[in-house]
Amino acid sequence: MPKTKTRVVVALGGNAILQKGQKGTYEEQLANVRRTAEHMGKMILSGKYQVVITHGNGPQVGAILLQNDAGQRYGIPAMPMDVCGAESQGLIGYMIQQCLREVLVEGGRPDIPIATVVTQVIVSKDDPAFKNPTKPVGPFYSEEEAKKLAKERGWIVIDDAGRGWRRVVPSPDPKDIAEKEAIRQLLEAHVVPIASGGGGIPVIEKDGKLVGVEAVIDKDLAGEKLAEAVDADVLMMLTDVDGVAINYGKPGERWLRRVTVEDAKRYLQEGQFAVGSMEPKVRAAVRFMEWGGKRAIIASLDHATDAIEGRAGAEIVR
């Protein structure tokens, strides 16, 4: 079915769900998601955009891992990380569905359906990340406790910047979206899909089956792969800063509004962007434009509507 609207994959940063300094109660998160839903709702209600939503899950899956840890004291078996990721997709998707529906009903469009897809993202079993785990996850431990757990559970643990000892897991590159056909069919039925939350549930192909692995996929890189899978026109990554800067926080800091793919790749090689925050966003934007996307935007959540209209944020261009 040909597209009649501009198709936009909106990748929500952590501030869309949990603000710095908050405890992470359900009520706090729901209030944040409601504000986020108002921005998404404006885009949908304009009639110009077909929206696919993806989101982070760091604090939420971290809380689930802590609950796992505490539950073992009472004999409750811990769930593996891929299952925890699936749980977080349901939790966050539920909040977005509720809040976005409220916004659409208030806007006079109760007929627009919304659905969360528990999404598996395929990675290669030969990805070098599996030999070099670098992503800290879960609670902090003392050195003694961490090394004991490493021996018992086969974990790799590190001293995390002097804050305590933590487990580290691989962060492999996303290769494909397992549920892409289901998501495409939802779009053809004019459903607003929420998909690939938290970078998706990492799975590998083994003997014709999909098998979950203990890993974390970067949410922005997975969002870019989702954008390819649904033939999106725009990839918009929303965060807590309104754009992209070089020499960030240093003398000569400069905020960029339009960045060519060539310049963005040069800045990436120079290490201009913080690993784990802005760096994967810029890398995702470059990948999307090289794939054939029309627009790649990095902007503040609060300026989402202005950004999609070209009045705010940074845009990576050819």
Q: What is the pLDDT of residues 172-222, one digit of tens each?
A: 999 999 999 999 999 999 999 999 999 999 999 999 999 999 999 999 999
Band (256; pLDDT cuts 50, 70, 90): very high
C-beta of residue 289 within 8 angstroms of C-beta of residue 296: yes
**Catalytic residue numbers?**
14-15, 135, 219, 281
Q: Would the pLDDT of 1 be above 60?
A: no
Task: Tell me the pLDDT tens digit for each residue of 267-315.
Answer: 999 999 998 889 999 999 999 999 999 999 999 999 999 999 999 999 9
Q: Mean pLDDT over all residues of the chain? A: 95
Render pLDDT for 5-54 as a digit per residue (tens, 0 to 9): 999 999 998 879 998 889 999 999 999 999 999 999 999 999 999 999 99
In the predicted structure, residue 158 carries a pLDDT above the cut 70? yes
Contact 85, 55 (CB under 8 A): no
Q: How far is CA 221 from CA 54, 118, 148, 182, 190, in A?
A: 11, 17, 34, 20, 25
Is the pLDDT at 2 greater than 80? The verdict is: no
Which is it for the CA torsion 302, 308, 309, 315, positive or negative?
positive
Characterise 199 by phi-psi region: left (phi > 0), alpha (psi -120 to 50), beta (else): left
As given in the structure block, the two tokens for residue 190 are 């004019």
Residue 236 pLDDT > 80: yes
Among 238, 223, 304, smallest CA distance to 39 is for 304
Q: Which residues are within 8 A (CB) of 45 and not within 5 positions of it... i.e. 6 or more apart?
A: 103, 104, 107, 109
Q: 3-class SS at 164?
A: coil
Query: Is the model's pTM score more than 0.85?
Result: yes
Q: Is 90 exceeded by the pLDDT of residue 230?
A: yes
Strand-pairing partners, residue 239, are 300
Q: Which two tokens stand for residue 180?
A: 């892409």
